[in-house]
Structure 1
Amino acid sequence: MKKFLVVITILCLILGMVTTSGAQDSNKEQNFIVVTSDRIRFEPNVDSWNVAFSLLTVLDLKSKPVLKSVSINGVDVKGSLAVVPSELPVNKFKGLTMAQLKRWNELRKAYHKGTLNKDGLTEFRSLNKALKGAMEKAEGIVELKVDPSKLPFSIEKGKIYPLQVEIQYGQEVQTFTTEVFIQSIPSDSSWIPAQLHVHSNFSDGKKTPLEIANTYKGMGYKVVYITDHTDLIPQHGGWSSYSQAMANASSASGIPVYPGAEMTVVSSSGAEQGDLLAYGIVSLTGLENRTYGPQEGIDNIWYNSSLSSATIAHPTGEPDWLDWSVVRYSGFELMSGLQLNFADGASPMVRWRSELTRLLPDAFNYIYRPSAHAADDWHSGQWYDPNPQGYVTFLNTSGSTSKSAVDSALLRGKTVASRDGGLGYFCFERNGTTKYIGETFTGVPTNSKINIYLTFKPVNSGTYTIKIYKDNKVSEIFSQTGSYSSGVTYNMSGSFIFDGGQHYYYLYISGPDYIYSTPIYVSN
């Protein structure tokens, strides 16, 4: 009996030790964090699914983490990888703690959801600056290139494949899942999908223009504008080399790649005022970084060529745009970078409507308008930016991808901004005259009936609400809610009575995707 009690006592002690050890392991601080995307969209017939991630730490790891497994719905797909990395690179920061890394990530998510208060915003920006300045060893990202033809099952258009990755470091195993969405970006004889804000190895990106072109081609884009920083392009051969690299990437990839630029403007005291994107430019003359004020920077882009235009980049992102008295800009980034809130109450959308209202008289006198843009701001291959976000700006070029057609559409505001790639657009018709997005409809008598014709091509299936707003959400001239399927084209119609004066009307679609159009402007 005593011997039995001793055995039981020993077993209890062992079990207690195991339980305690397990609890300690579960509460043990992680050795690294994983940065990746929740979802990536690819064309149905793409040769490779490129899913990238980065590992961040502040610790001196004794060895490199390894790739433990790659699976889809529990099915091992590691054999479909073009290359199976033996060790994974880790990006190490100095002078920070893992708690600060995690806090930064929490604040970043809250920031892009628009839920940060003033104190939280101050803390986030402080940590963000600390992270970017504390890099000790940047080893880069991991790219998993999955060959769909080698998967042990057939790939179906319109389906989502949850790609689960396990990473092991000693006894620690971390798991993340990226949804691979197989669907084409819709387009038609008028509208083409474009990517308008991306950085290559001519500035602070890590990939070549050709690598960027192939990435976006695999995602279904028809045009790419690379917008490297004006202070860094000269360090990599200057405008001539830069432009030639875009031409070479166009020829090799099969989709047009055009040279643009991004410049920072400053106040008279040298304080940063925000960033501008330049399209249609033919040189960097007058676009020197941190040299010009906001309006002077816009004007220098405006006069660069007959088809050049300026866009305000990430207007309520980091850095914010600070001068809201400027004129003569043609684009406004409603969706940019790591933004997570796309509803019409988000800060970029609120500011955009304010600008539409402020600049309404100019719309009838000039060709520039604050048109709706969406762009990734992808710093290709960087640890903080492993994958493209997948935003789309649709351009009404009558289907052309020529540089003159693209630049003209950007200059004149013939654009639709889309979070995931769904396409929505509308036109107004009265007495045989039709006006499209970005155009003005003048000489319309008060109390006239105007017909509405609307097209919606969702990339995601689900329930959507489709509205056309008058002015700053003063009223709705069209509203419809229903279930819509991916890959189907829906045509709708309606009408409204024009009440006179000067007004703008824009399309807003919300649901599994978010879509905004540049307005149609109507006046007496």
Structure 2
Amino acid sequence: MRSWLPYELHTHTFHSDGEHSLQELAASAKDIGLRGIAMTDHNTMSPLLDRQAVEKSTGLHIVQGMEWTTFFGHMLVMGITRYVDWRDLGIDEIHKGIERVHEQGGIVGIAHPFRAGSPLCTGCYWEYEIADWHDIDYIEVWSYTLPSMLTSNQRAFRMWTDLLNQGYRITGVCGRDWHSSAVKPSDPVAVTYLQLEPEEASGTVQDRQVVEAIAKGTVSVTMGPLLLLGLASQGNGSTYGIGDEVPAPHAQSAWEATVKLDMSERSEHWQLTDTDMTVVLVGNLGRIAELAVVSSSLTVSCPIQTEGLSWLRAELHGGIAHCRTMIAFTNPIYFQ
């Protein structure tokens, strides 16, 4: 059965510049209700030598990966089985490195593309020349804690939206860039929910499933409740969800969009400071609808005209950490 499972996709240990071991990191991730993490140490895969033992002791899924940490930008690499080198790549040669990752069946994502660079963070700011954005599988549009409030993340989110408007199907994710086990309760942590199907007998998830979910875009990101988006035809009854593509022709049909909030997921690890929440439906045509969420009903629906739409996502706005901001967003439903 397919389920929405919470993952952290950007982590570090003392094998690079983190403060904890893989065992300590996994235990902390388990304590905050995560189902898995991507192990993305800087330019090394050495902590993964302990992967099987840590997975067995914690029950946490650890996805194999690393973070290319260069002078021209940081790129997250996930789902690989062997180290992939980047040191021979110039500023205009990143696609050669991406090809090496894709040859292993892995995926690549731009990490914190607008975070301040040297000397605060060597190479953090993305400067590689992208000749074809189809090669980029995902972008870390939210990074760090309380991510929606950071100017660098707001720029990354706008860039992602612009790329969607240009027709690129790139997945938006969050990454805490986790270096320390210490978490202040006042610092809301965003997590990336992936729609996955654990193996029936063992309940385990394989790396390839995580890679496929991110590549397809069956992803929802939140600092609070899990946000889900569905689209149903009022004619033939067909339904579509996050990451799906609605086939043509569709503009002649009547459609209804439904947004659901699951307040039970990881509910002990986040707290809203305002019950007044708003769902905004956004697409390549701009704001499509704005719907108030009331506590008596955590499901809101509205009719949608799909003519001219190439993508549609949901955003949740409300109060968290004593500020009003975007709390969650889904990846798009696409239109042929």
TM range (shorter): 0.7 to 0.9
Counterpart among 199, 211, 214 of residue 407 in structure 1: 211
What TM-score do you get using the length of structure 2 for normalisation? 0.80
Provide the alpha-carbon RMSD of the alignment.
Answer: 2.7
Residue type at the aligned position of 2:242: I
Once the two structures are superposed, what CA deviation does each residue of 1:158-183 show, in whole Å capped at 9, x if it has no partner? xxxxxxxxxxxxxxxxxxxxxxxxxx
Could you tell me whether the CA contact under 8 Å between 1:465 and 1:480 is conserved in 2?
yes
Per-residue deviation, 1:415: 0.8
Per-residue deviation, 1:325: 4.2
Could you tell me whether the CA contact under 8 Å between 2:146 and 2:189 is conserved in 1?
no
Supply the distance in 2 between the matched residues of 1:189 and 1:445 (Cα, whole angstroms). Answer: 26
The structure where helix makes up a greater share of residues is: 1
Instruction: Name the SS of the counterpart of 1:512 in structure 2.
Output: strand
Residues 1:450 and 1:325: Cα distance change in structure 2 (over 3 Å): farther
The number of residue pairs the alignment matches comes to 301
Supply the distance in 2 between the matched residues of 1:425 and 1:386 (Cα, whole angstroms). Answer: 27
Instruction: Name the SS of the counterpart of 2:311 in structure 1.
Output: strand
Per-residue deviation, 1:340: 4.8
Per-residue deviation, 1:320: 2.0
Could you tell me whether the CA contact under 8 Å between 1:191 and 1:399 is conserved in 2?
no
Corresponding residue for residue 298 of structure 1: 98
Supply the distance in 1 between the matched residues of 2:239 and 2:41 (Cα, whole angstroms). Answer: 38
What TM-score do you get using the length of structure 1 for normalisation? 0.53
Could you tell me whether the CA contact under 8 Å between 2:260 and 2:299 is conserved in 1?
yes
Corresponding residue for residue 292 of structure 2: 481
Higher RCO (Cα < 8 Å, 6 or more apart): 2
- 2:142 counterpart of 1:335: yes
- 2:148 counterpart of 1:347: no
Moved more, 394-403 or 242-251: 394-403
Could you tell me which runs of 5 or more consecutive residues in structure 2 were left unpaired when the two chains were aligned. Answer: 117-123, 200-204, 321-326
Corresponding residue for residue 371 of structure 1: 171
Could you tell me which runs of 5 or more consecutive residues in structure 1 were left unpaired when the two chains were aligned. Answer: 1-187, 234-238, 266-271, 363-368
Residue type at the aligned position of 1:336: S
Query: How does 1:74-89 map onto structure 2 within 5 Å?
Result: none
Residues 1:481 and 1:511: Cα distance change in structure 2 (over 3 Å): same
Once the two structures are superposed, what CA deviation does each residue of 1:17-37 show, in whole Å capped at 9, x if it has no partner? xxxxxxxxxxxxxxxxxxxxx
Instruction: Name the SS of the counterpart of 2:23 in structure 1.
Output: helix
Supply the distance in 2 between the matched residues of 1:199 and 1:521 (Cα, whole angstroms). Answer: 34
- 2:313 counterpart of 1:509: no
Per-residue deviation, 1:289: 4.4
Per-residue deviation, 1:338: 5.0
Corresponding residue for residue 50 of structure 2: 245
Supply the distance in 2 between the matched residues of 1:393 and 1:340 (Cα, whole angstroms). Answer: 13
Residue type at the aligned position of 1:253: T
Instruction: Name the SS of the counterpart of 1:349 in structure 2.
Output: helix
Instruction: Name the SS of the counterpart of 1:454 in structure 2.
Output: strand
Query: How does 1:430-509 map onto structure 2 within 5 Å?
Result: 430=233, 431-458=236-263, 459=267, 460-461=271-272, 462-471=275-284, 474-476=286-288, 478-484=289-295, 490-500=298-308, 503-509=310-316
Once the two structures are superposed, what CA deviation does each residue of 1:122-148 show, in whole Å capped at 9, x if it has no partner? xxxxxxxxxxxxxxxxxxxxxxxxxxx
**Identity level (%):** 21
Could you tell me whether the CA contact under 8 Å between 1:464 and 1:484 is conserved in 2?
no
Per-residue deviation, 1:346: 2.3
Residues 1:192 and 1:340: Cα distance change in structure 2 (over 3 Å): closer
Supply the distance in 2 between the matched residues of 1:297 and 1:338 (Cα, whole angstroms). Answer: 30
Counterpart among 406, 427, 444 of residue 230 in structure 2: 427
Query: How does 1:218-367 map onto structure 2 within 5 Å?
Result: 218-230=31-43, 233=44, 239=45, 242-264=47-69, 272-285=71-84, 287-289=85-87, 291=89, 293-305=93-105, 308-318=106-116, 319-322=124-127, 323=129, 325-327=131-133, 328-338=135-145, 340-342=147-149, 346-358=154-166, 360=167, 362=168
Corresponding residue for residue 323 of structure 2: none
Residues 1:503 and 1:343: Cα distance change in structure 2 (over 3 Å): farther
Supply the distance in 1 between the matched residues of 2:2 and 2:299 (Cα, whole angstroms). Answer: 15
Corresponding residue for residue 197 of structure 1: 10
Per-residue deviation, 1:453: 2.5
Residues 1:343 and 1:386: Cα distance change in structure 2 (over 3 Å): closer
Supply the distance in 2 between the matched residues of 1:437 and 1:397 (Cα, whole angstroms). Answer: 13
Instruction: Name the SS of the counterpart of 1:244 in structure 2.
Output: helix
